[in-house]
């Protein structure tokens, strides 16, 4: 039986670029998240594939039909926090408030409370935000997908497959995103600029390599990455490269990987892994 992988979508708009000091002021008529999610839903439906959508609470509030339309298509609704502020910039109380506000809203909109969380820009950290893990568990979350084994934004020596984190409030399953191991360090091939930049053959080989060891690969994509005509914030060159360039349309690559490998939602993947 093939190993199941997980496709995850961080549902935010074109201007929710990681690490900005606050949410930029944009005109509501430039918002693109709904049609871009629609394109992803159509692609997934064509391939008969289910995915996990991490929604920002602020986006779900602005577009109240969005979470229900994703859930009705059979996908998992999970939480990306409320404001897109980095967890490292929040107090424990602010983090709990963001989680609860997003969980309450998504439950009201879809009838189910999310059990999965992903922090903006991999900003959960066992060293810098150890208090966040028991809060997640306490607020009803079963798994987290925010610890990336990457230099600079994560723990470059961190595990590449799922692992358990024991907290005073109970265990959490941590599911890291796909990276590619090289002698120079891990490459961010699982999503974002790396997914659009590195050769598709390398990404496919990385998924296959993990699957051969019985481990799932977790891919991630943002709606703006399948919206090549969308507006762009004026950013310094490195930030602009990470957010928008290169190869502005990730959809053909995603489609090729959905055809080649088997994918499911993160909650299903955690269910299977938890019983091993």
Whether the Cβ atoms of residue 78 and residue 265 lie closer than 8 Å to each other: no
Within residues 121-150, the interface with Zn ion by CB under 5 A covers none
- Quick one: 10 or 139, whose CB is closer to Zn ion? 10
Number of amino acids touching Zn ion (CB under 5 A): 3
**Among residues 105, 170, 183, which one has the least CA distance to residue 144?**
170
Which range binds Zn ion by CB under 5 A, 6-14, 65-73, 170-178, 179-187? 6-14
- Quick one: 133 or 220, whose CB is closer to Zn ion? 220
Site mask for Zn ion (CB under 5 A), range 12-31, x = bound: x-------------------
- Quick one: 120 or 191, whose CB is closer to Zn ion? 120
Name the minimum Å distance from CB 217 to Zn ion: 20
Name the minimum Å distance from CB 29 to Zn ion: 22
The rounded distance, in Å, linking the Cα atoms of 115 and 39 is: 25
Name the minimum Å distance from CB 201 to Zn ion: 27
Residue with tokens 């360039």: 245
- Quick one: 16 or 75, whose CB is closer to Zn ion? 16
Which range binds Zn ion by CB under 5 A, 10-18, 62-70, 176-184, 242-250? 10-18
- Quick one: 120 or 149, whose CB is closer to Zn ion? 120
Which range binds Zn ion by CB under 5 A, 24-32, 61-69, 89-97, 116-124? 116-124
Within residues 34-73, the interface with Zn ion by CB under 5 A covers none
**Among residues 133, 213, 140, which one has the least CA distance to residue 178?**
213
The rounded distance, in Å, linking the Cα atoms of 116 and 134 is: 14
β-strands 76-79, 185-187: how paired?
Answer: unpaired
Name the minimum Å distance from CB 224 to Zn ion: 10
Q: Determine the number of helices (DSSP H) and then strands (DSSP E) in the chain.
A: 10, 11
Per-residue tokens: 81:
């926090």
Residue 10 is a binding residue for Zn ion (CB under 5 A)? yes
Count the neighbouring beta carbons within 10 Å of the beta carbon of residue 164: 11
The rounded distance, in Å, linking the Cα atoms of 83 and 121 is: 13
Count the neighbouring beta carbons within 10 Å of the beta carbon of residue 207: 24
**Among residues 50, 48, 55, which one has the least CA distance to residue 103?**
55
- Quick one: 10 or 267, whose CB is closer to Zn ion? 10
Residues that bind Zn ion (CB under 5 A): 10, 12, 120
């Amino acid at each position: 039986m093939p190993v199941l992988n997980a496709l995850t979508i961080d549902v935010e708009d074109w201007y929710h670029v990681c690490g900005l000091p606050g949410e930029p002021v944009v005109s509501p008529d430039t918002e693109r998240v709904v049609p871009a999610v629609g394109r992803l839903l159509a692609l997934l439906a064509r391939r008969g594939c289910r995915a996990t959508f991490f929604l920002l609470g602020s986006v779900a509030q602005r577009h109240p039909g969005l979470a229900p339309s994703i859930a009705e298509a059979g996908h998992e609704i999970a939480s990306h926090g409320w404001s897109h502020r980095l967890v490292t910039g929040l107090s424990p109380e602010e983090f709990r408030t963001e989680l609860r506000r997003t969980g309450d809203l998504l439950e009201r909109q879809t009838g189910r409370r999310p059990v999965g969380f992903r922090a903006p820009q991999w900003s959960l950290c066992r060293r810098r935000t150890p208090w966040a893990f028991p809060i997640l568990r306490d607020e009803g979350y079963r798994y987290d997908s925010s610890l990336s084994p990457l230099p600079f934004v994560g723990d470059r020596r961190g595990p590449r497959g799922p692992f358990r984190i024991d907290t005073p409030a109970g265990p959490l399953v941590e599911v890291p995103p796909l990276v590619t191991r090289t002698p120079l360090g891990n490459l961010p091939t699982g999503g974002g600029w790396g997914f659009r930049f590195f050769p598709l053959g390398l990404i496919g080989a990385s998924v296959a390599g993990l699957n051969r060891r019985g481990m799932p690969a977790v891919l991630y994509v943002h709606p703006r990455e399948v919206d090549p005509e969308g507006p762009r914030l004026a950013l310094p060159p490195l930030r602009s490269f990470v957010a928008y360039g290169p190869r502005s349309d990730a959809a053909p690559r995603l489609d090729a990987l959905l055809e080649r490998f088997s994918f499911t939602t993160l909650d299903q993947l955690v269910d299977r892994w938890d019983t091993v």
